[in-house]
């Protein structure tokens, strides 16, 4: 699917047919958005731009030269957009190609930031004089969405912290949930750092419009604050993880303490019972009250050991 924003007679026109590219010039095209295009659509756009748009495989590479590159005619920028799921996040690569003032985007999945921006461009076309301004709006919206995701994770971390303070359902599953939240935090941070690196490289280019410098500067400041926030969230999760591990260890130690105490308390009665259980003549064995005396002796030994442990503050 292709969506093309171009100007005709001073008015913004939206088309979903690559056939119109043969009827217009590059300077009139604002944005070409390719959503899971077929081979014919991609080749038509390549021919119109006079260059080859980067493939998905190229967009997924992590080398700096693959994330941003520049030629005499074009700029190539690749970044990842987060897709929140029920438990974790996935990253979808998006490629941006700038030729003149025209921006071409290539993606495989629908993205909320793109859909909202397309509606905004139709409503206020005068606010988007070039493809670079469209790109700035996409980055601005994505940073806002990333901030919303970080805010949701912060609330989730607060809920986990409250559960830890109340010692509510502290078990191995709880620890695994914290580990999953740590993984999500790292993914979000990686995604934000990728945008920071991309914008920094773009601002160094000679093709970069100077009038957008202040706007990109504000976006970079927002990204820096988000990175600091994710760092704090990760440290907070590490603290929670250590606390949960400590609580689990305390519970296990208390269980072992109980077993040890029971074993120690039963050792003297077991010794007495074993001694008088031998098939040999022993004192008091011929008395009718011998069994009561033995029971009394066992209980007395258990009580004595319990009192000693209590005074030593071992209980």
Tens digits of per-residue pLDDT, 245-255?
Answer: 777 777 778 78
Q: Quick count: other Cβ atoms within 10 Å of Cβ 238?
A: 12
Cβ proximity of 240 and 161 under 8 Å: yes
* Coil/strand/helix, residue 110: coil
Question: What's the distance, CA 112 to chain centroid?
Answer: 18
CA distances 306 to 63, 265, 294, Å, are 68, 7, 18
pLDDT at 4: 86
pLDDT at 220: 87
pLDDT at 314: 66
pLDDT at 232 over 60: yes
Confidence at 282, pLDDT banded by 50, 70, 90: low
Average pLDDT over residues 18-30: 81
Confidence at 163, pLDDT banded by 50, 70, 90: confident
Residues 51-89 have pLDDT tens digits of: 887 766 655 554 544 578 878 888 888 888 887 766 667
pLDDT at 78: 86
pLDDT at 64: 46
* Pick from 22-36, 72-86, 166-180, 272-286: least confident: 272-286
pLDDT at 237 over 60: yes
Which pTM does this prediction carry? 0.70
**pLDDT cut 70: percent of the chain above it:** 88
Average model confidence (pLDDT) for the chain?
Answer: 80
Residue 96's DSSP bridge partners are 77, 105
* Coil/strand/helix, residue 311: helix
pLDDT at 52: 81
CA distance linking residue 97 with residue 266, whole number of Å: 79
167 contacts: CB under 8 Å, gap ≥ 6? 247
CA distance linking residue 35 with residue 190, whole number of Å: 24
pLDDT at 182 over 80: yes
232 contacts: CB under 8 Å, gap ≥ 6? none
Instruction: Please report the DSSP string for 171-220 in residue order.
Output: SHHHHHHHHHHHHHHHHHHHHHHHHHHHHHHHHTSTTS-GGGHHHHHHHH
């Amino acid at each position: 699917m292709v969506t093309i924003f171009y100007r005709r007679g001073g008015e913004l026109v939206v088309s979903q047919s690559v056939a119109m590219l043969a009827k217009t010039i590059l300077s009139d095209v604002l944005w070409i958005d390719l959503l899971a295009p077929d081979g014919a659509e991609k080749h038509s756009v390549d021919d119109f731009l006079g260059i080859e748009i980067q493939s998905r495989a190229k967009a997924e590479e992590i080398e700096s030269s693959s994330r941003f590159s520049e030629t005499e005619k074009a700029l190539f920028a690749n970044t990842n957009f987060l897709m929140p799921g029920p438990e974790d996040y996935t990253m979808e690569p998006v490629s941006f190609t700038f030729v003149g003032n025209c921006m071409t985007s290539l993606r495989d999945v629908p993205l909320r930031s793109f859909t909202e921006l397309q509606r905004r461009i139709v409503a206020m076309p005068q606010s988007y004089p070039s493809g670079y301004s469209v790109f700035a709006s996409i980055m601005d919206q994505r940073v806002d969405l990333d901030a919303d995701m970080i805010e949701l994770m912060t609330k989730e971390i607060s809920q986990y912290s409250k559960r830890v303070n109340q010692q509510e359902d502290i078990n191995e599953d709880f620890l695994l949930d914290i580990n999953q939240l740590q993984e999500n935090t790292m993914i979000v941070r990686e995604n934000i750092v990728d945008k920071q690196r991309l914008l920094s490289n773009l601002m160094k280019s000679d093709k970069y419009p100077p009038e957008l410098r202040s706007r990109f500067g504000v976006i970079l400041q927002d990204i820096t604050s988000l990175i600091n926030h994710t760092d704090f969230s990760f440290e907070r999760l590490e603290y929670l993880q250590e606390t949960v591990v400590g609580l689990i260890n305390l519970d296990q130690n208390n269980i072992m303490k109980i077993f040890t105490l029971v074993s120690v308390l039963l050792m003297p009665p077991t010794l007495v019972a074993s001694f008088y259980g031998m098939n040999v003549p022993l004192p008091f064995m011929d008395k009718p009250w011998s069994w009561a005396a033995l029971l009394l002796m066992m209980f007395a030994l258990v009580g004595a050991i319990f009192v000693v442990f209590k005074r030593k503050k071992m209980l």
